[in-house]
Amino acid sequence: MLFMSTYSSPIGDFRLLSTKTKLKKIILPSEDSNLNPAPETKMNVPPILEECMKQLSMYFGGTLRSFSIPVEPDGTSFQLRAWTYLSTIEYGETISYGTQARGIGIEKGARAVGSANALNPIPIILPCHRVIGSDGKLRGYGGGSDLLYIKEYLLAHEKKNI
């Protein structure tokens, strides 16, 4: 059983999906295809979603730098390794896709981790926005360039609140 709630952020409304105890997914504002709840989804707000909304509010308010939400993303073992590594990137810092790949033991895996990050189901909390091209340029967010404004906003927000 999944539970869903909506969180209004400065960059739009997010949908939060969880089990009773773990966050499963954050649906960004323009991911329209997934906005309707599945038949087995309840609109109740269990404590995990309340805590997630509280921590997101603190993050966007500039007072939270590290999330402590239990997460359970669905993905391959490689994706899970790539996403877990994201939590080691400090607030306000950025690394390259190559650095992330080397961090999980794959010397020439920049494109592979980029593909994994594009499918990150829990953006912001698993901060894939902190991974950029080796040339310092933003390379995409949420699987494409149409959400790049969110990545730009999040990076600027963190730099402002260091």
Instruction: Over range 32-45, report the average pLDDT.
Output: 57
Domain of residue 54: give its range: 2-60
Residue 116 · residue 100 · CB < 8 Å: no
Judge if 55 and 9 occupy the same domain. Answer: yes
Q: How many domains does the chain have?
A: 2
Instruction: Over range 146-152, report the average pLDDT.
Output: 93
Judge if 49 and 88 occupy the same domain. Answer: no
pLDDT computed for residue 36 by the predictor: 55
pLDDT by residue (tens digit) across 42-84? 666 899 999 999 999 999 999 999 999 999 999 999 999 999 9
Please give the structure tokens belonging to residue 14: 């997010």
Is 134 a domain residue? yes
pLDDT computed for residue 34 by the predictor: 47
Report the 10 Å Cβ neighbour count for 44.
Answer: 11
Flag whether the pTM goes above 0.85. Answer: yes
Task: Kindly report each contact of residues 56-61 with a partner whose C-beta sits within 8 Å and lies 24 or more positions away, as own/partner.
Answer: 56/7, 56/9, 56/14, 56/124, 59/124, 60/9, 60/10, 60/157
Catalytic residues: 128
pLDDT computed for residue 73 by the predictor: 98
Give the 3-state secondary structure of residue 36.
Answer: coil
The percent of residues in the chain predicted with pLDDT above 70, rounded, is: 91
The torsion angles phi and psi of 49, rounded to 5 degrees, stand at -75, -35
